[in-house]
């Protein structure tokens, strides 16, 4: 999981947005619309990043279509401390 997190956050464009999504989902499960509002990003951008995170098995959806709620995967929850280390490495991020 550690390598996957490094790739998803530090190794690719858009990593900061994915890190913010992970932080928010750790606080509470959300759907794409809620994430877009809270993170002040477009719905389309959120959906793009959720797809990447889902393919990497960092998040898991529950439900159907527009009602999908996203959670951190069990493996991500177990490795959340690794994420926190990476989060601190992301420049310009202030922990809310």
Fold of 2-87: Arc Repressor Mutant, subunit A (1.10.10)
Tokens encoding 79: 């490795």
Q: Could you tell me the two tokens for 93?
A: 């991020």
CB 23 within 8 A of CB 88: no
pLDDT above 80: residue 23: yes
What are φ and ψ of residue 58, in 5° steps? -90, -35
Q: Which of 2, 10, 12 is nearest to 58 (CA)?
A: 2
Which residue, among 5, 42, 1, 35, has the nearest Cα to 21 in the 3D structure? 35
CA separation, residue 92 to residues 31, 72, 89 (Å): 26, 24, 9
Q: How confident is the model at residue 25 (pLDDT cuts 50, 70, 90)?
A: very high
| pTM: predicted TM-score of the whole model, two decimal places | 0.88
Other CB atoms within a 10 A radius of the CB of residue 74 amount to 10
Q: Is the pLDDT of residue 93 over 60?
A: no
Condensed to tens digits (0 to 9), the pLDDT of residues 43-66 reads: 999 999 999 999 999 999 998 877
Quick check: 96 pLDDT over 60? no
């Amino acid at each position: 999981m550690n390598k996957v997190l490094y790739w998803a956050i530090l190794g690719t464009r858009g990593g900061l947005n994915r890190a913010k999504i992970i932080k928010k989902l750790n606080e509470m499960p959300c759907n794409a619309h809620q994430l877009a509002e809270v993170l002040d990003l477009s719905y389309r951008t959120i959906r793009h990043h959720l797809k990447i995170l889902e393919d990497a098995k960092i998040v898991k959806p529950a439900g159907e279509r527009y009602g999908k709620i996203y959670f951190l995967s069990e493996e991500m929850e177990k490795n959340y401390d690794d994420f926190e280390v990476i989060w601190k490495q992301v420049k310009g991020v202030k922990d809310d």
